[in-house]
A = this chain, B = another copy of it.
Amino acid sequence: MADKDKNIETTDQLDVEFNTDGLVPAIVQDVDDGTVLMMAWMNEAALQATLQTKKATFYSRSRDKMWVKGESSGHVLEVVEVRVDCDQDVLLLRCKARGPACHVGYQSCFYRVTNAQGHLTFVEQRVFDPDQVYGNA
C-alpha cells in the first residue's frame, strides 16, 4: 500500500480520483431496502450537481452530456447520502427511488442472474413498459 493510498484512505476531504476520461463510477442503492439499483458514471460537474440538487445526476458517455436520472420518466433518485470508497475512485449514492430505476422497465438494472455456463435467469418482473414511458424511440 503506497503512502499516497494511505492518505486517500484516511482523509476527511473529498478528493475523487476521476479516471483518464474524467469519470467516476457511481453505484446507486435504495436506502430503504438496500437494493442495488444501477451504476452510472459521473464527471465533476455531475457530482457537484448531485451534491447541490440532491437529485442523482450522471454523465452519459454515449450522448456526451450530463443527465438527471428521471428527467424523461419522472423516476428520479432523491439522494440521501453520497459515500466514497477507500481509494476515492468509486461513489455510492444511497437514494429514495421515485419509481423504477431501470430504463427497460425493471425496479433494478440487475434483474438477471447468470449460472456458471452463462445462462441468464430473469429474477425480477418488469414493472413498466418503456415504450409507454419514454415513447417509441
Chain B min CB distance to A8 (Å): 9
Q: Are B12 and A120 in contact (CB under 8 A)?
A: yes
Given contacts A14-B120, A118-B13, contact A81 B113 (CB under 8 A): yes
- A121 proximal to B (CB < 8 A): yes
Query: How many copies of this chain are found per oligomer?
Result: 2
Contact indicator per residue, chain A 103-122, by CB within 8 Å of chain B (1) or not (0):
11010011111111011111
A121 touches B29 (CB 8 A): no
Give bound CA distance, A89 to B83, whole Å: 22
**Pairwise interchain contact B84-A12, C-beta atoms closer than 8 A:** no
A-B contact pairs, 29 of them (CB 8 A): A1-B103, A1-B104, A1-B134, A1-B137, A11-B120, A12-B112, A12-B121, A12-B122, A13-B118, A13-B119, A14-B119, A15-B118, A27-B27, A34-B35, A36-B36, A51-B116, A51-B118, A52-B116, A81-B113, A83-B112, A83-B113, A84-B112, A85-B102, A85-B109, A86-B104, A86-B111, A87-B109, A90-B109, A92-B110
